Structure 1
Amino acid sequence: MQTPYEFLIGLTYTRRGRRGRRRDGFMSFISGISVASIALGVAALIIVLSVMNGFQKEVRDRMLAVIPHIEVTAVPGPLEDAAGLAARLEARSDVLAAAPYVQGQGLFNSGDVVRGALVKGVDPAAEPKVSDIAQNLTGGAKLTDLAPKRFGVILGRDLARALGVRTGDKVALLVPQGNMTPAGLMPRMRQLTVLGYLSSGHYEYDSTMALLNIEDAAALFRTGGPQGLRLKTSDMNDAPAIARSIAAGLPPGVYASDWSRQNRTWFAAVQVEKRMMGIILFLIVLVGAFGLVSTLVMTVKEKQSDIAILRTLGASQGSIMAIFMIEGTIVGLVGVAAGVAAGLLVAENVGAIVSAIEALMGVEFLPKEIYFISTMPSDPRLSDIVPIAVFSFLLSLAATVYPSWRAARIHPAEALRYE
């Protein structure tokens, strides 16, 4: 099958300058800049979005080390027949495990320091099945140390630091469910023994959370039993749909919420940030497209005599337009392909690259004591890469239309008048 002459001429113009086999250095330089601009924009988009995805995944994983995929909560509580409901939910193919819980707000007091906290009562035997809390305990603590009626507590690492307490120290917990006395309602207080620390790497939880045995928490908050169930699903990304399915079969006064709803504001902010960053970085690709327009306009100017000769030999305006659109398409295709390759290469090795820069410059971009991670996270996703490549290529293709249209409108007589 014979190759169309429009493609062959367009390919020749992409590689050569004004004198047939002799490459014109300046035109080649301009064409190379256009390719580099498009490639740089595509690579920057892929790298930045991959790093943002990596940070989002890192934070999400740290959240899910403490919070469950789904929470089933009775309002006002307690949850009737919690064991029976847990058995029914665990019978579902999309629910792996269920664990009861109790929670409430309290004030911790140590010396002159008072800090508010969310107190969670957990079942030491069932909790490891639904969360990774047991894997994030430090200070020699184990979840099984939360024995009933021992009133031991595991404090968030930053909460313990703020209170100035260590393992084995005593700390007072004040709960709003008080006792009625002749002097009025007095808050209830209980001395607790610090058993260790929760260190999830997420400041929001490490500074405001404390863990008790579920029986001790139920006694302190007078809930009369578990307030709800914490569920682990087969796929955390399906948790919203599973939560809606579970909610449809729950009795009145019992609700189901998934992990994305509990942190909706944070995830919405990350999505807006990613979207705005993508728009800003896409301007780099737009600059490359403008460079492509300039390249094609200069090529058309240089090739006026060639265009006139082709027209006199019978080439139609559509063929002339196709020649220059093919040239621009090749430049755009090469730029996008190079950008995707470079972006993926850097995104997959961004941790090693950042570490090398830190070693070379003697700086630390991610101090572990602040960010709790020592390497730059990266998570390249096909859902980001494909739209970036497609839109960048379409933008490059659109940039070829006007110069190609101008080339097709050149009159042979006018072009050859001064030749």
Structure 2
Amino acid sequence: MFRPLPFFIGLRYTRAKRRNHFISFISLISMLGLTLGVMVMILVLSVMNGFDRELRTRILGMVPHATISSEQPMDDWQTLATRLEEHPQVVAAAPFIQLQGMLTHNGSVAPVLVSGVIPEAEKHVSIIEQHMTQGALSDLQDGEFGIIIGELIAKRFGVQVGDKLTFVLPEASVTPAGVFPRLKRFTVAGVFKVGAELDSSLAMIHAGDAARLSRWQPGQMQGLRVKLDDLFQAPKVAWDLALTLPGNYYAQDWTRTHGNLFAAIRMEKTMIGLLLLLIVAVAAFNIISTLVMVVTDKKADIAILRTLGASPGTIMGIFMVQGSVIGVIGTLAGGVLGVLAAWNVSAMVAGLESLFGIQFLSSDVYFISYLPSQLIWSDVALICLTALGMSFAATLYPAWRASRTEPAEALRYD
């Protein structure tokens, strides 16, 4: 079988047991460093991708992609919703009324954003129905003053379905006995859990009950919540929708409320990727020191090959093959270990939390309560190709130096 001479000799040098064990040790360290760098890069970028995905699907599955509102309550929201849904980017539209206030129970207080919704329409624009742990979204009935709360609120108050909560509005009522805050008793109709910060700050009631609390006429709504086919087109689509509707309407999209969070994650992913790339670069360029020592150790062999007719290009190819083998093995090993780690890191972290009885990510501090991971094969390919490119570049100088070896000078003292 035909094998090019540089490839054949380069592989022999790689497999051979060297007399200088220090060179073998440095080669092993270079290979392990490259493996570790590639593995860590794949793992960390997969975790960052997981955070991005979870925030997109969970938080942006609960908060509006875009909202269309007006200064006055909407009387005929059905007609507006139908008109919005005619836009090719709009998946669905649902009415809402937002109220800010506090929930109280047995002396405990929690700030909350209450959304008044119509259950039949809300299920088309929100993922809450798929994340109910107690009750159902359809349990919200007009006039019954039921409320659906997040799991963290339920744990904080120690309540479940059927218990009573008091909602305090930031308004005052003047009575003969004095000025008192506006209060309304609600019955817990359900509990949801999306595994995000929203579990501690969001609640839902029926839009009819929200209209009564806002002292509006039955059927009036504050605005329309819009779900889009491509949420990253939200700023443009929301602006287009506001311009095309008759009357004075203004639009708001998720980039104003949560856009800074996604921008921070993307910036962190870029910066962490660049920092981890330095690990790969250090490991790759350790190949330079390894090959320089190999060239010094193999000067006699190089001289003999040159006297037998090997060209400088052949000598250069031999050591490029040897260095590239180190890079290929280290990169492939790191790629395989990184993929396996990215697939199993969520389960491993959950196992450690269960074993030691601690929680590394708390919803009270972070936006999600577990470590997500999403493996993107384009990231794996880019990391591996970058590592291979660095490894190949690291072989050029030592191989060029070997090709410049003069046979007479190398054999003078042998």
- TM-score, with structure 2 as normaliser: 0.84
The one-letter code sitting in structure 2 at the alignment partner of 1:254 is Y
Q: What is the total number of aligned residue pairs between the two structures? A: 406
Seen in structure 2, the aligned counterparts of structure 1 residues 289 and 91 have a Cα distance that, compared at 3 Å, is same
**Do the aligned residues in 1 keep the contact of 2:90 with 2:226 (CA within 8 Å)?**
yes
292, 297, 303: which is aligned to 1:297?
Answer: 292
Offset at residue 54 of structure 1 (A): 3.0
228, 231, 240: which is aligned to 2:232?
Answer: 240
Aligned counterparts of 1:301 and 1:111: Cα–Cα separation in 2: 80
The one-letter code sitting in structure 2 at the alignment partner of 1:402 is Y
Q: Determine if the alignment matches structure 1 residue 154 to structure 2 residue 177.
A: no
The one-letter code sitting in structure 2 at the alignment partner of 1:150 is E
Offset at residue 332 of structure 1 (A): 1.0
Superposed, 1:212-251 pairs within 5 Å as 212-222=205-215, 225-234=220-229, 238-251=230-243
Seen in structure 2, the aligned counterparts of structure 1 residues 194 and 110 have a Cα distance that, compared at 3 Å, is same
Question: What secondary structure, in the 3-state scheme, does the structure 2 residue paired with 1:86 have?
Answer: helix
Question: What secondary structure, in the 3-state scheme, does the structure 1 residue paired with 2:53 have?
Answer: helix
Aligned counterparts of 1:308 and 1:350: Cα–Cα separation in 2: 51
Seen in structure 2, the aligned counterparts of structure 1 residues 355 and 158 have a Cα distance that, compared at 3 Å, is closer
The one-letter code sitting in structure 1 at the alignment partner of 2:40 is A
User: After the TM superposition, which of the residue ranges 27-36 and 121-130 deviates more from structure 2?
Assistant: 27-36
The one-letter code sitting in structure 1 at the alignment partner of 2:374 is D
Q: Determine if the alignment matches structure 1 residue 211 to structure 2 residue 214.
A: no
Q: Which residue pairs with 1:50 in the alignment?
A: 46
**Do the aligned residues in 2 keep the contact of 1:145 with 1:195 (CA within 8 Å)?**
yes
Seen in structure 2, the aligned counterparts of structure 1 residues 165 and 341 have a Cα distance that, compared at 3 Å, is closer
Q: Cα RMSD between the aligned structures?
A: 3.4
Residues 188-218 of structure 1: CA deviation (Å, up to 9, x unaligned):
333333323333322x322222211112112
Superposed, 1:407-418 pairs within 5 Å as 407-418=402-413
- TM-score, with structure 1 as normaliser: 0.83
Residues 360-414 of structure 1: CA deviation (Å, up to 9, x unaligned):
xx43565899799998643211232122112211211221122123222322221
**Do the aligned residues in 1 keep the contact of 2:101 with 2:112 (CA within 8 Å)?**
yes
**Do the aligned residues in 2 keep the contact of 1:16 with 1:24 (CA within 8 Å)?**
no
Unaligned runs of 5+ in 1: none
Superposed, 1:183-222 pairs within 5 Å as 187-202=181-196, 204-222=197-215
Percent identity of equivalent pairs: 44
Aligned counterparts of 1:391 and 1:295: Cα–Cα separation in 2: 20
Aligned counterparts of 2:240 and 2:368: Cα–Cα separation in 1: 40
Q: Determine if the alignment matches structure 1 residue 332 to structure 2 residue 323.
A: no
Residues 217-269 of structure 1: CA deviation (Å, up to 9, x unaligned):
122124662222223334xxx212255134223235321414x5532232233
**Do the aligned residues in 2 keep the contact of 1:109 with 1:115 (CA within 8 Å)?**
yes
Q: Which residue pairs with 1:9 in the alignment?
A: 9
Aligned counterparts of 1:250 and 1:261: Cα–Cα separation in 2: 16
Offset at residue 296 of structure 1 (A): 0.4
User: After the TM superposition, which of the residue ranges 159-168 and 322-331 deviates more from structure 2?
Assistant: 159-168
**Do the aligned residues in 1 keep the contact of 2:7 with 2:318 (CA within 8 Å)?**
yes
Q: Which residue pairs with 1:266 in the alignment?
A: 261
**Do the aligned residues in 2 keep the contact of 1:199 with 1:206 (CA within 8 Å)?**
yes
Aligned counterparts of 1:356 and 1:216: Cα–Cα separation in 2: 44
